[in-house]
Each structure stands twice: as C-alpha cells, then as structure tokens.
Homo-oligomer: A and B are copies of this chain.
Amino acid sequence: MKLATYKDGSRDGQLVVVSRDLSTAHYATGIASTLQQVLDDWNFLAPQLEDLYLTLNQGKARHAFPFDPERCMAPLPRAYQWADGSAYLNHVELVRAARNSEVPSSFYTDPLMYQGGSDDFIGPCDPVVCANEAFGIDFEAEIAVITGDVPMQTSADEAIEGVRLVMLANDVSLRNLIPNELAKGFGFFQSKPATAFSPVAITPDELGDAWQGGRVHLTLQSTWNGRKVGMCEAGPEMTFHFGQLIAHICKTRNVRAGSIVGSGTVSNKSVEVKGKPQWPKGYSCIAEKRAIETILDGKPSTEFMKFGDTIRIEMKGKDGESLFGAIEQEIVPLNA
C-alpha cells in the first residue's frame, strides 16, 4: 500500500491512503490519524489500511479525492530516529579519489552511518530554506526505509524483515560547512539541515521483484533546474543492503518503530571509454559531480545550488509510473 501525510496545521498531519497510481487518496480516519500511530501498532492497523487501499484502487472508496503532493508533509513529519548510511561505496571512493585519499579497507565491511536530526522534516514540495547561499547547498538523492521494532543484536538478514515502508529522501547537505565540522571529530551537525522525503511511503511489496535482498533495483532520477543529471541504478552497487544498515544500528541498542534509515547518495561506478573514465549514469549529488571534475580536470567547475534553484527526485517502476511521487523543491533564503 501507499501512505502519505496531509498538512492540516498540526505537527504530525493527517494520514491518508493513496492509490497505486497516485491519482486519488482517502483519509485514514477511523483507522489511524498519524503514520507513527500505525507504525506503533503495525500488525493491528496495517491490515485495515490495506483494506482501504484495495477499495481505493478499485475506485470504490466513497470519500476519495484527487491526490495532491503539494499538500503533503514528509510521510513522517517528525520521527524518533533518522540514521543515514553511506551504503554506495562508489560515492565514498569518488570523493576520496578527488582528494587523493584512499578508502580504508574496513569501509567495505563496516558501514558508514551518521545520526541525523529528525524533529523537523520538510515535505516533498516544501522549499529548502537556507540562511546563507555560501554554505554550499547540495541535494543528495537517496532511498530511505521506515522500520518497525528491531531488537538489539538482530542479524542483517533478519533486520530486512524490519522494513515497513520505503520512500525517497533529499538529504540536503551544506558542503562548505562539512570540512570544519568533520575536522572537529564528532561528525556532521550544522552541515545537515532538515531532510525532505517523497510524497508517499510504500510497503516493499509495491516494488515487486525490484525489492530484492534489502535493495531497491530501480533507477533514481535527479533533475536539477530542469536538467536530468542523475539516472542512477539503486540496486546492484548498494554495498550494504538495508538489513545491514539496520543491523549496524542494532549492534548496541534497540531500533524502535518509526526509525528512518537512509541509503546515502545513490552512486554508480564509472565505465572506461577509450582509456578514460566516464559516468554515463550521472550523479545524485553535486559533490560527486565536482569530485568527477576534479579527477578529470584537476579542479571542480560546477557550483553548488543557488537561491531559486530547483531539484526533482523521482523513481519509476518497471511500468514507467512514478512509485513514490516526486520530491520537487526550490532553494529559498530564510525570511524571503
């Protein structure tokens, strides 16, 4: 099924069930008012929502209305956890190659992950508000999952079963704040402002065969200022699957229902053409484009985002239909 959260002036919004083709929606009133409620009591509430989803898809839901992504908050407008991995090692390899540093061998067995802020997510069509263009505003197109309860020390394979919903994320990053921040040794903080998520979160069964081994085997599209810059394959090159990412969190603690776990920037390896590397799939964040430029030309030439820039992130199924709806955001100054 497909779920979204409509703006209603409250902090957690109003849960709606969205039809498979994203054309219509129906309030989940009478079953649950918020998505967190459903995650807290999944086995009892999800089947009721599935029934409504079925009726909605059959065109028989009595109070259905046209679905409008602009009215959406993030599926979870605030969450108890947002843990973002860096599961596509190619992304790390590229960024490191650009600064002539090697990837430690442990990175291929021990996932990189940071704890993000989760108190103030932004909706798929909400502006990205930034106090200063000079912070180096970048998008990061990612896949994210929402979990159920997963106990401490759960194995990676078992942890895949903890995935309740899948969505897309724009993990906005402030690149020019990162070097000083990481140099302090405590990881990202100010360099990671509010994250945006796709209009709908979907159960893994909606992905059919594309959901395999804890990975989404489809193409993630990123369109910057109307130009398609990324058509990255999310499946085969995901070094750590979502079960491994969740198990990484579980090593020393429980993961509780409603935790969001991100894949990190989806990234594909180069192919060699006449002895030179090329990246035909493009990129899912500007930092990667700049790393490629540095590798090829000795310096980056693409600038980060400016106020007024737009970013669209979307993923289509094998039938060509949008699975999650699109993240479509504009960068705007604070107090614009």
Chain B residue contacts of A191, Cβ below 8 A: 252
Instruction: Tally A residues with Cβ within 8 Å of B.
Output: 54
B251/A119 in contact, CB under 8 A? no
Chain B residue contacts of A114, Cβ below 8 A: 115, 186-187, 189
Chain B residue contacts of A116, Cβ below 8 A: 115
Q: Which of A78-86, A159-167, A209-217 contacts B (4 or more CB under 8 A)?
A: A78-86
**Is chain A's interface secondary structure helix, strand, loop, or mixed overall?**
loop
A193/B135 in contact, CB under 8 A? no
- Who on chain B is nearest to A86 by CB? B186
Tell me which of B131, B135, B180, B256 contacts A153 (CB under 8 A): B131
CA–CA, A256 and B120, complex, Å:
6
Of A130, A153, A194, A256, most buried by chain B (CB within 10 Å of CB) is A256
Tell me which of B129, B130, B252 contacts A131 (CB under 8 A): B252
- Who on chain B is nearest to A118 by CB? B80
B256/A190 in contact, CB under 8 A? no
Chain B residue contacts of A255, Cβ below 8 A: 119-120
Instruction: Answer whether residue A152 sits at the interface, using C-beta atoms and an 8 A cutoff.
Output: yes
Write out, one digit per residue, whether chain A residues 120-134 have a CB within 8 A of any chain B CB (1) or not (0).
Answer: 100000000111000
List CB contacts (< 8 Å) of A224-271 with chain B.
248-249, 251-259
Q: Do A334 and B115 contact each other (CB < 8 Å), given the known contacts A78-B256, A187-B186?
A: no
Tell me which of B80, B129, B253 contacts A194 (CB under 8 A): B253
Chain B residue contacts of A186, Cβ below 8 A: 86, 112-114, 182, 187-188
Write out, one digit per residue, whether chain A residues 168-204 have a CB within 8 A of any chain B CB (1) or not (0).
Answer: 0000001001001010111111111110000000000
Nearest 6 A/B pairs, CB to CB: A187-B187, A80-B119, A119-B256, A81-B119, A115-B115, A193-B252
Interface residues of A (CB under 8 A from B): 11, 40, 78-81, 83, 86, 104, 106-107, 110, 112-120, 129-131, 135, 152-153, 174, 177, 180, 182, 184-194, 248-249, 251-259, 334
User: 24 pairs across A/B with beta carbons < 8 Å?
Assistant: A11-B40, A80-B80, A81-B118, A81-B119, A86-B186, A104-B184, A110-B184, A112-B186, A113-B189, A114-B187, A115-B115, A115-B117, A115-B188, A120-B253, A120-B254, A131-B251, A177-B252, A187-B187, A187-B188, A189-B248, A190-B248, A191-B252, A193-B252, A194-B254
